[in-house]
């Protein structure tokens, strides 16, 4: 095989030894053998806090002979924050409002009664918090038929998103998609829930089914991968710059 030639879909090999963090442009850059990371389109990757830089650096330091890009969630989120978010903040914020418009936490099971009771007991307090502390008054429904959310609620969800910097907005968008819920993503952002708690609330129905019918191996592997992402996101939110 020619030097530098890679078969399609071949994973890249590790090409560096040392991973370090250095101050750069008012933030922190992750360096591989002294060279700073760049996002896919060439934008220099500078993180706003040391905590976020640590998170990215640990992913690179933890790679073996083969670089598993798909498992480097913080690195991908950082790339999104520096390249995809800045030109599309309005659209990204609108997408978060779209998740609120059909938020998972607003669709309670009609049956079985035990599942409906569990949802009410666990989702209800989060919805109450969202209305009280975030101004997100959500319409609840039973079953899967869509019910529109109040326009002021959707505008508020969008406003919460736009209040964030690019790194916070990237994380919130990631969380809304991960959980199927803007409310859960905002609760994690605010520290109302931790990553595992938010993830567990997003899959109450799946957990209920598993308790009765057992756990499918493929589904268990997927759940484990998503739990890793939820834990990463909790740490990401904790590493964001603190409001002044």
Is residue 1 one of the residues assigned to a domain? no
In a domain, 2, yes or no: no
Residues 50 and 92 in one domain: no
- Residue 105 and residue 121 in one domain: yes
Q: What are phi and psi of 222, to 5 degrees?
A: -65, -45
DSSP string, 37-99: -B-TTS-B-EESSHHHHHHHHHHHHT--SB--GGG-HHHHHHHIIIIISGGGHHHHHHHHHHH
In a shared domain, residues 215 and 135: yes
pLDDT digits (tens, 9 = 90+) for 209-225: 999 988 888 989 999 99
Instruction: Give the domain-ending residue among 47, 68, 84.
Output: 84
134 and 170 in a single domain? The answer is: yes
Are residues 97 and 80 part of one domain? Answer: no
Residue 23, classed as helix, strand or coil, is strand
Output b/e per residue, 96-119; b: 16+ Cβ within 10 A. bbebbbebbbbbbbeeeeebeebb
Single pTM value for the model: 0.93
Q: What CATH number is associated with residue 65?
A: 3.30.2180.10
Do 94 and 214 belong together in one domain?
A: yes
Domain boundary among 36, 68, 84: 84
In a domain, 4, yes or no: no
Identify whether 6 is part of a domain.
no
Query: Which of the four pLDDT bands, split at 50, 70 and 90, describes residue 162?
Result: very high
Range of the domain at 27: 19-84
In angstroms, the CA 72 to CA 235 distance is 14
Nearest residue to 175 (alpha-carbon basis) of 166, 184, 167: 184
Question: Tell me, what's the pLDDT at 143?
Answer: 80
**What is the CATH number for 151?**
1.10.3580.10
Q: How far is CA 199 from CA 13, 56, 76, 94, 111, in A?
A: 33, 22, 20, 23, 22
Domain contains 14: no
Verify that 194 and 78 share a domain, yes or no.
no
> Domain total for the chain?
2
State pLDDT tens for residues 4-60: 334 456 889 999 999 999 999 999 999 999 999 999 999 999 999 999 999 999 999
Are 139 and 55 within one domain? no
User: Which residue, 201, 193, 203, 198, is CA-closest to 230?
Assistant: 198
Query: pLDDT tens-digit profile of 94-122?
Result: 999 999 999 999 999 998 999 999 999 99
pLDDT, residue 1, reads 31
Is 47 part of any domain?
Answer: yes
Looking at the fold, whether 146 and 198 belong to one and the same domain comes out as: yes
């Amino acid at each position: 095989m020619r030097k530098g030639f890679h078969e399609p879909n071949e994973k890249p090999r590790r090409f560096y030894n040392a991973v370090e963090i250095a101050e750069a442009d008012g933030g922190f850059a992750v360096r591989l053998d002294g060279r700073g990371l760049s996002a896919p389109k060439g934008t220099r990757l500078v993180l706003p806090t040391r905590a976020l830089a640590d998170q990215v650096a640990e992913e690179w330091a933890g790679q073996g002979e083969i670089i598993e890009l798909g498992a480097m969630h913080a690195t991908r989120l950082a790339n999104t924050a520096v390249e995809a978010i800045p030109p599309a903040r309005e659209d990204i914020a609108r997408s978060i409002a779209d998740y609120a418009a059909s938020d998972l936490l607003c669709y309670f099971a009609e049956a079985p009664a035990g599942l409906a009771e569990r949802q009410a007991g666990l989702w209800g307090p989060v919805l109450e918090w969202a209305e009280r502390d975030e101004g997100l008054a959500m319409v609840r429904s039973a079953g899967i038929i869509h019910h529109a959310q109040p326009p002021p609620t959707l505008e508020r969800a969008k406003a919460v998103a736009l209040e964030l910097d690019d790194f916070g907005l990237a994380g919130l968008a990631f969380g809304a998609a991960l959980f199927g819920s803007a409310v859960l993503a905002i609760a994690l952002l605010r520290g109302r829930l931790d990553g595992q708690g938010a993830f567990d609330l997003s899959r109450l129905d799946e957990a209920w089914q598993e308790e009765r019918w057992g756990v499918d191996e493929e589904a268990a592997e997927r759940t484990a991968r998503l739990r890793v992402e939820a834990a990463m996101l909790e740490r990401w939110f904790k590493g964001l710059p603190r409001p002044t």
